[in-house]
């Protein structure tokens, strides 16, 4: 079933891209070939899959979560290589056409994959920390795991990467065996280093408030016409005469451009409704790039199973019910664009309300609850309906905020974890006395549950949030919900790569009970509790390959599948009357194409 749907998607994408590729200067359209679709495993906590073409143009490597896929560009089986233990968000080919450098290792940070031997091993196993002297003669050190966006030199002898520090960026160039290194402090923020075919090192640098290509890295800016910001990875043609870059259009997404290597008039190669960007180039001039497909929409279905019904016709997720069951709180906006994520967490993501009972899907929120310049998401009502708690990054926070449910009251911050805490979605206890949320532990940095006492009549927090210590649990907690007695908490946890569990504990962390363990690559799936407290709704992979909604009795028994239509689901929420389940329907893919400009 899923293969048929993918074939339809590819056909639609092929037609769309045929209308979306700019003609070359001689009037003929560039030669375009579809290569693959890279799927992500969830809309929350994931970024676009990484992808690159091999130097000889025969292979393409791309990521799907913690998995590296390697296959011939002309089609064929995927090479079998070991799975990692964390998401792969960056990769690069060695000039030997068999070795792939990728991140996605929880311990060493970077690993080497060999597509011929089918092996995976740490990069610089014997050198977890690198040392060098900068241009002033001062010594510098960096953990290999702290380096980002590594790039292999054309001769295969060096690897370039970036390390961020309190005093700015450092550009590191390390020998392939890790035994020698050079470090250079760059005054401007830099990203995406890329080697020219002649062995010079370019990168993007923030100059005069705009991201530009610089050669050498961080120094001389290359100016294009039109003079637009350059975002995301860049690549050079084999003769270095052309730089392939992603630059934003008026809609806020990226198009792929070809610009002269020395600056000047650039040619736009693509025009899509979502991002087309991240070029890599083979020795024969073939350019691999990706187009982004990201869609989320809030929907409902009968709790006993039945048709899925969309409630919104715009990008929306993280549904939560108001106490009356008439309204749903949602997160909405246009995030996951590259131009947006470049400023993360200052992105186009806000919280609002839509009706839970509409004839046609809503085209906009019925009411905006909060729309700061930073990430706002996942609101929750107090049981008496007087207050709304939500997650926000406003004012340099990564915390829980509170505001009156009615009127235009000012939001107040009630936690102080700060940016980088990855605070989750708040949930109010049924007795109205406590707020529960997940977030980073101040000591271990792992995701744990936090609890804070709040008066639902006055909205006043009684003290600061405290961590719930669960000594017997060795797992990352991704979301917690209250049971109706306000004395127990049910949570979904990640025990390890691809291994999840549903557990019950108390607000003190005592009496931990594992309800069910299951395999899933979908992180941050959320959890819903039935009004009776006898069941939870959770997300797991079904036999059709899609992530579906299941009901699970908390006193034992097997889960029962609720949704069956061929689409991915996440973030289930049970209606107050127990009759419906709200959830997010999503897809998150990168379509990989080659083009011969």
Instruction: Indicate if the alpha-carbon torsion angle 434, 436, 439, 443 is positive or negative.
Output: positive
β-bridge partners, 102: 91, 111
The label of the residue with tokens 């989750």 reads 424
Residues 6+ apart with CB under 8 A from 561: 305, 542, 548, 549, 550
Give the residue among 300, 220, 213 at the shortest CA–CA distance from 260.
213
CB of 536 closer than 8 Å to CB of 527 = yes
What are the structure tokens assigned to 424, written together? 């989750």
Taking only the tens place, the pLDDT of each residue in 149-201 is 999 999 999 999 999 987 889 999 999 999 999 999 998 999 999 999 999 99
User: In this structure, what are the phi and psi dihedrals at residue 448, rounded to the nearest 5 degrees?
Assistant: -130, 170
Rounded Cα distance, 330 and 368, in Å: 10
Stated as kind and residue range, the H or E segment containing 203 is: strand 201-207
**55, 53, 12, 19: which is closest to 35 by C-alpha?**
53
* Residue 17 Cα distances to 11, 34, 71, 302, 451, angstroms: 10, 10, 22, 38, 49
Q: What is the pLDDT of residue 27?
A: 58
411 Rama class: left (phi>0) / alpha (psi -120 to 50) / beta: beta
Is the separation of the CB atoms in 572 and 549 below 8 Å? yes
Q: Are 294 and 273 in contact (CB under 8 A)?
A: no
Concatenating the DSSP letter of every residue in 161-196 gives EEEEETTEEEEEEEETTSS-EEEEEESS-EEEEEE-
| CA–CA distance, 513 with 508 (Å, rounded to integer) | 13
557: phi > 0 → left, psi -120 to 50 → alpha, else beta; which?
left
Q: Are 195 and 160 in contact (CB under 8 A)?
A: yes
pLDDT of residue 136: 67
In the numeric block, the tokens 């054309």 are attached to 154
Task: Tally DSSP H helices, then E strands, for the chain.
Answer: 2, 49
How does DSSP assign 246-259, residue by residue? Answer: EEE-TTS-EEEEEE
Sites in the chain below the pLDDT cut of 70: 1-29, 134-137
Edge to edge, what strands does the sheet with 99-105 contain? 91-93, 99-105, 109-114, 119-122
Sheet with 267-268, edge to edge strand ranges: 235-236, 242-248, 254-260, 267-268
pLDDT at 133: 75
Nearest 5°: CA angle at 319, between 38 and 364?
A: 90
Three-class DSSP category at 13: helix
Are 489 and 505 a contacting pair, CB within 8 Å? yes
Q: How many Å apart are CA 215 and CA 194, to the nearest integer?
A: 10
Which segments within 229-315 are labelled E, that is strand?
235-236, 242-248, 254-260, 264-265, 267-268, 276-281, 287-302, 309-310
- Condensed to tens digits (0 to 9), the pLDDT of residues 271-297 reads 889 999 999 999 999 999 999 999 999
pTM over 0.85? The answer is yes
Q: How far apart are CA 30 and CA 26, in angstroms?
A: 10
- CATH architecture observed for domain 294-589: 6 Propeller (2.120)
Query: Six-digit token pair at 269?
Result: 């190669």
Residue 130: HSE in the Cβ half-sphere, 13 Å Cα cutoff = 32
The owner of tokens 């186009």 is 348
The two tokens of residue 247 are 């630059």
Provide the β-strand partners of residue 112: 101, 121
Q: How far is CA 508 from the centre of its chain?
A: 32
Distance CA 504, CA 330 (A): 26
């Amino acid at each position: 079933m899923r293969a048929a749907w993918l074939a339809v998607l590819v056909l639609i994408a092929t037609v769309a891209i045929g209308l979306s590729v700019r003609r070359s200067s001689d009037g003929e359209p560039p030669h375009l070939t579809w290569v693959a679709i890279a799927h992500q495993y969830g809309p929350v906590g994931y970024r676009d899959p990484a992808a690159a073409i091999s130097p000889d143009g025969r292979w393409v490597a791309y990521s799907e979560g913690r998995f590296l896929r390697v296959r011939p560009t002309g089609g064929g089986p995927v090479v079998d290589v070991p799975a990692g233990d964390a998401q792969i968000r960056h990769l690069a080919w060695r000039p030997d056409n068999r070795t792939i450098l990728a991140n996605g290792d929880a311990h060493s940070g970077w690993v080497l994959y060999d597509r011929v031997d089918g092996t995976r091993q740490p990069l610089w196993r014997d050198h977890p920390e690198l040392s060098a002297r900068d241009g002033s003669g001062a010594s510098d050190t960096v953990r290999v795991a702290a380096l980002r966006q590594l790039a292999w030199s054309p001769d295969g002898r060096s690897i370039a990467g970036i390390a961020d520090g309190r005093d700015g960026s450092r550009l590191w160039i390390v020998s392939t065996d890790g035994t020698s290194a050079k470090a250079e402090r760059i005054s401007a923020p830099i990203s995406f280093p890329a080697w020219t075919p002649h062995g010079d090192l370019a990168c993007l640098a923030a100059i005069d408030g705009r991201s530009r290509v610089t050669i050498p890295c961080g120094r001389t800016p290359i100016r294009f016409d039109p003079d637009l910001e350059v975002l995301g990875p860049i690549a050079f043609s084999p003769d270095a005469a052309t730089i392939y870059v992603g630059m934003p259009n008026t809609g806020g997404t990226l198009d792929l451009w070809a610009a002269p290597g020395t600056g000047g008039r650039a040619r736009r190669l693509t025009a899509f409704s979502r991002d087309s960007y991240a070029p890599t180039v083979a020795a024969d001039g073939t350019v691999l790039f990706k187009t982004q497909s990201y869609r989320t929409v809030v929907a409902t279905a009968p709790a006993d199973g039945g048709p899925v019904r969309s409630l919104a016709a715009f990008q929306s997720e993280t549904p939560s019910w108001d106490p009356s069951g008439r309204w749903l709180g949602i997160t909405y906006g246009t995030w996951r664009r590259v131009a947006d994520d470049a400023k993360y967490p200052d992105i186009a993501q806000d919280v609002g309300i839509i009706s839970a009972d509409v004839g046609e899907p809503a085209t906009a929120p019925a009411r905006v609850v909060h729309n700061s310049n930073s990430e706002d998401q996942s609101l929750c009502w107090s049981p008496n309906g007087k207050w709304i708690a939500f997650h926000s990054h406003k004012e340099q926070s990564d915390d829980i905020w509170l505001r009156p449910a009615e009127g235009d009251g000012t939001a107040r911050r009630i936690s102080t974890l700060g940016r980088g805490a990855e605070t989750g979605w708040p949930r109010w206890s049924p007795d109205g006395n406590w707020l529960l949320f997940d977030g980073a532990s101040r000591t271990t940095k792992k995701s744990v549950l936090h609890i804070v006492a709040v008066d639902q009549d006055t909205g006043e927090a009684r003290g600061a949030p405290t961590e719930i210590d669960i000594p017997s649990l060795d797992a990352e907690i991704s979301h917690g919900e209250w049971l109706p007695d306000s004395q127990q908490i049910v949570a979904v946890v990640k025990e390890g790569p691809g291994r999840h569990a549903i557990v019950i504990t108390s607000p003190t962390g005592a009496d931990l009970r594992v309800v069910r363990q299951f395999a899933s690559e979908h992180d941050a799936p959320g959890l819903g509790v039935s009004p009776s407290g006898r069941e939870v709704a959770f997300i797991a992979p079904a036999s059709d390959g899609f992530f579906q909604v299941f009901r699970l009795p908390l006193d034992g028994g097997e889960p029962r599948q609720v949704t069956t239509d061929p689409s991915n689901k996440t973030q289930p929420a049970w209606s107050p009357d127990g009759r419906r389940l709200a959830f997010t329907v999503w897809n998150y893919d990168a379509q990989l194409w080659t083009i011969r400009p």
